[in-house]
Amino acid sequence: MNDQEPNIIIYFQYAFNGIKYALITQKNLRIHFLITIFIFVFGIYLNLLPIEWCVLILSIVFVIISEIINTALEIIVDMISKEKNGLAKNAKDLCAAAVLIPTFASVLIGIFIFLPKLVAKAQILIQ
């Protein structure tokens, strides 16, 4: 390996530094992670099927990636435009929308996956 080439460990360090920064600075990302933990515990309790796990994980990852990209773009906008600027506001609003849309989709996916299982559990308890 060439001494000039960064090794893969350094790339992972950069990535984990980014995740750490986002978790420390972004309240919404911390909320997403807490909800994710709850969903995983709930999914184990309800014995989700492998395909349901796949769909849930993909939707959760999509939300988290959107939140991290939103954070990065907001930092860039703040670096470029220190004073209030209509275009900077539009850029930040678009980034927020890019998080909101997959978040809504994830909520719908959660409803489609969990609601039938919850109804079935409730019917068992009622009988």
Assigned domain for 3 exists: no
Assigned domain for 86 exists: yes
Secondary structure (3-state) at 49: coil
Assigned domain for 17 exists: yes
Number of structural domains (the chain) is 1
| 80, pLDDT greater than 70 | yes
Mean per-residue pLDDT for 56-62? 97
Q: What residue numbers bound the domain in which 65 lies?
A: 8-126
> Confidence band (pLDDT; 50, 70, 90) for 3?
low
Instruction: Tell me what the pLDDT averaged over the chain comes to.
Output: 93
Catalytic residue among 5, 52, 67, 74: 67
CATH number of the domain bearing residue 61: 1.10.287.3610
Mean per-residue pLDDT for 18-39? 95
Assigned domain for 1 exists: no
In percent, the amount of the chain with pLDDT more than 70 equals 96
Closest among 92, 35, 38, 94 to 64, alpha carbons compared = 35
- Annotation says 67 is catalytic: yes
